[in-house]
Amino acid sequence: MMPARAYEYEAEVARPWRKAEPEIQKVPRRLHKPVRKQNYKLFRRRLFVSVVVILAMYAAAVVRSETLVRTGATLINLQQQEAQLIMKNSELKIEVEKLKEPERITQIAEKQLGMSVARSNIYVKAK
């Protein structure tokens, strides 16, 4: 038993710097893991929220773009209809003017109604 004590004593005397070092208190590794897991979970959560926000913004942009395209197509269709209706309206105005012509009315009166045009104006004297 004696030699073991002497050996331990010699070890302490031979390496005095080991005694001088402060003892580092070792923390079990399992205490570090929750911090990493917590940071990882926080990172994952932030990443997920960022991805969701980006996807929502992208979806909103797509919906807005689709609405603008649909509105533009509707506007073009309405402008085409307007142009067609304006042309039809001018054609109808020309047709109304043709139907109002006195020669046409005279022809219809003579042929269909058997009327004749008075050659001279007759004035009746009123009492």
pLDDT tens readout for residues 101-127: 988 888 888 888 888 777 766 677 776
The pLDDT score that the predictor gives to residue 118 is 72
pLDDT for 91 beyond 80: yes
pLDDT for 92 beyond 70: yes
Could you report the per-residue pLDDT of 54-77, keeping only the tens digit for each?
A: 999 999 999 999 999 999 999 999
Exposure class string for 17-33: b at 16+ Cβ within 10 A, else e: eeeeeeeeeeeeeeeee
The pLDDT score that the predictor gives to residue 3 is 52
- Alpha-carbon distance of 36 to 32, in angstroms, equals 7
The pLDDT score that the predictor gives to residue 38 is 77
pLDDT for 29 beyond 60: no
Residues 6+ apart with CB under 8 A from 106: 117
- The type of residue at 7 is Y
Residues 6+ apart with CB under 8 A from 98: 104
CB contact at 8 A, 9 and 3: no
The pLDDT score that the predictor gives to residue 65 is 97
